[in-house]
């Protein structure tokens, strides 16, 4: 756990002082490790009415060997709660959520999970149902802000008829893969998910390309995709050739030196993936730069380079990568946005434009009839404060504030972003497209 503040409040003297002053103490988060159980139970599973999703989740947890309970006995500590409110139609029914979750909160284990499952308000039948469904979002985000000790709360909204697609989202959120995903909403829709033969290798047999893979978040994405079974083409600029080669060697993939702004970048990536690995299934557009200046001082060069690296290059590469003969049917495209693209950031009009544009692109591509017909999903992550060389350049005070202003009181790690990207890349996730998932520890920025 990096950071001056974290170091102080977790020291012997600092801890006492922090307790006296009521200052937050960042907890060590439970992160995924190969071979670790999905979660150490028990998990409280329940909900309103027939609670069809709770039943599915109960079965899933049984298969995984995780104990479940339907209520919390006095003094009992649970690791997670899965609350199925898919049948909530009127405000009064929200009390079922309070009654289920409240008794579990005091004894919730560290890095615990609250997962609420509801239906998409857009599919509601009438005003009361729409309001009730949307209320779940406010409850979830508020619980996220009340939890301590690395615990998180997230909401999964499932379309009618898509319950079978919810498993991958619940698995992800319960696991250590979602350590830094907090206070977020995941929308699950139609699609034909395919379960992997082995949940420890959900990307086995897939070929992925990751841009900006020489260092930081991109290197971590390559690590995690390879750990999950994919063959990874690692792309970065020639100037980063040495570290690019290190990443590629580590993950057993190939290094491909390429500036993503080159006019033929998409074609060259496709040719490389096809000739060396037989095709392409997963595209992760991660390469990005910042060139910060207040708009009053922003020159044309800073403006244009950020927009071109972070967004223009993606548009050009997609023309080839997403055309027939590009990414294989059933493939997955993941883009990297930022909370600066949601909330804006001082000195980052160029960067904010590019990262908001990424979200616009996800909206449009995920609704594109040709891509939907080919079963290609398009999603984005929007990282908050992640400990990388990019954020190490941020001035000290701003950096400490960025680290702490979130519900988990700490910055995230590149692996946290990488885990979410790897999850978006799973075939078990065919029902998840058009999502922009913040990996930000429920950052107050852009909340």
Q: Does 215 bind ligand NAD (CB under 6 A)?
A: yes
Q: Does 211 bind ligand NAD (CB under 6 A)?
A: yes
Residue 45 exposed, middle or buried by CB count within 10 Å (0-12, 13-18, 19+): buried
Select 187 or 438, whichever has its Cβ closest to ligand NAD: 438
Give the Cβ contact number of residue 205 at 10 Å.
Answer: 11
Q: Does 385 bind ligand NAD (CB under 6 A)?
A: yes
Q: Please identify which residue in 140, 247, 345, 391 interacts with ligand NAD, judged by CB under 6 A.
A: 391
Site string for ligand NAD, 287-326 (x = CB under 6 A): xxx-------------------x-----------------
Helix (H, G, I), strand (E, B) or coil at 312: helix
Edge-to-edge strand order for the sheet containing 68-69? 68-69, 43-47, 80-84, 113-119, 152-158, 185-188
Stretch that binds ligand NAD, among 124-132, 206-214, 246-254, 420-428 (CB under 6 A): 206-214
Among 375, 415, 362, residue whose Cα is nearest residue 226: 415
Site string for ligand NAD, 249-278 (x = CB under 6 A): ----------xxx-----------------
Do residues 287 and 211 make contact, with C-beta atoms less than 8 angstroms apart?
yes
Residue numbers annotated as active site: 351
Among 227, 222, 194, residue whose Cα is nearest residue 208: 222
* Dist CA 92 CA 236 (whole Å): 54
| Two tokens, residue 255 | 């290094």
Q: Kind and range of the H or E element at 321?
A: helix 313-321
Q: Kind and range of the H or E element at 136?
A: helix 127-146
Q: Does 389 bind ligand NAD (CB under 6 A)?
A: yes
Helix locations, 167-287, DSSP H: 167-174, 216-227, 241-251, 265-277
Number of residues counted as binding ligand NAD (CB under 6 A): 27
Q: Does 286 bind ligand NAD (CB under 6 A)?
A: yes
Q: Please identify which residue in 338, 366, 407, 433 interacts with ligand NAD, judged by CB under 6 A.
A: 338
Q: Does 30 bind ligand NAD (CB under 6 A)?
A: no
CB of 242 to ligand NAD, least distance (A): 11
Q: Please identify which residue in 6, 214, 314, 413 interacts with ligand NAD, judged by CB under 6 A.
A: 214
Residues making contact with ligand NAD (CB under 6 A):
211-212, 214-218, 236-237, 240, 259-261, 286-289, 309, 336, 338, 383, 385-386, 388-391
């Amino acid at each position: 756990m990096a950071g001056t503040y974290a170091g102080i409040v977790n020291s012997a003297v600092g801890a006492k002082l922090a307790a006296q002053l009521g200052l937050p103490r960042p907890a060590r988060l439970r992160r995924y490790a190969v071979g670790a159980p999905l979660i150490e139970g028990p998990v409280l599973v329940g909900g309103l009415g027939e609670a069809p999703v709770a039943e599915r989740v109960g079965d899933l947890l049984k298969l995984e060997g995780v104990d479940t309970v339907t209520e919390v006995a006095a003094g009992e500590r649970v690791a997670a709660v899965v609350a199925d409110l898919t049948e909530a139609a009127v405000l009064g029914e929200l009390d079922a959520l309070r009654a289920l979750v409240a008794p579990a909160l005091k004894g919730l284990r560290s890095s615990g999970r609250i997962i609420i499952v509801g239906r998409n308000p857009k599919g509601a039948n009438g005003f009361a149902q729409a309001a009730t469904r949307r209320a779940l979002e406010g409850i979830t985000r508020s619980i996220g802000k009340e939890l301590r000790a690395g615990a998180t709360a997230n909401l999964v909204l499932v379309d009618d008829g898509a319950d079978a697609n919810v498993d991958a989202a619940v698995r992800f959120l319960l696991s250590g893969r979602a350590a830094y995903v907090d206070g977020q909403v995941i929308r699950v829709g139609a699609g034909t998910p395919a379960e992997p033969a082995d949940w420890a290798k959900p990307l086995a047999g897939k070929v992925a390309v990751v841009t900006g893979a020489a260092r930081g978040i991109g290197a971590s994405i390559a690590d995690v995709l390879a750990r999950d079974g994919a063959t990874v083409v690692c792309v970065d600029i020639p100037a980063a050739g040495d570290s690019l080669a290190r990443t590629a060697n580590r993950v057993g993939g190939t290094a491909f030196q390429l500036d993503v702004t080159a006019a033929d970048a998409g074609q060259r990536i496709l040719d490389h993936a096809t000739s060396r690995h037989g095709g392409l299934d997963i595209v992760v557009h991660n390469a990005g730069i910042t060139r910060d200046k207040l708009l009053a001082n922003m020159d044309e060069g800073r403006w244009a380079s950020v927009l071109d690296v972070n967004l223009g290059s993606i548009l050009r590469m997609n023309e080839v990568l997403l055309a027939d003969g590009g990414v294989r049917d059933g493939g997955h495209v993941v883009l990297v946005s930022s909370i600066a693209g949601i909330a804006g950031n001082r000195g980052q009009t160029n960067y904010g434009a590019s990262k908001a544009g990424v979200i616009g692109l996800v909206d449009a591509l995920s609704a594109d009839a040709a891509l939907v017909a080919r079963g290609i999903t398009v999603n984005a992550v929007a990282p908050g404060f992640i400990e990388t060389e990019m954020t190490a350049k941020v001035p000290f005070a701003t950096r400490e504030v960025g680290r702490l202003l979130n519900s988990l009181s700490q910055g995230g790690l590149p692996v946290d972003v990488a885990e979410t990207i790897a999850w978006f890349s799973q075939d078990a996730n065919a029902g998840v497209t058009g999502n922009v998932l913040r990996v930000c520890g429920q950052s107050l920025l852009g909340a």
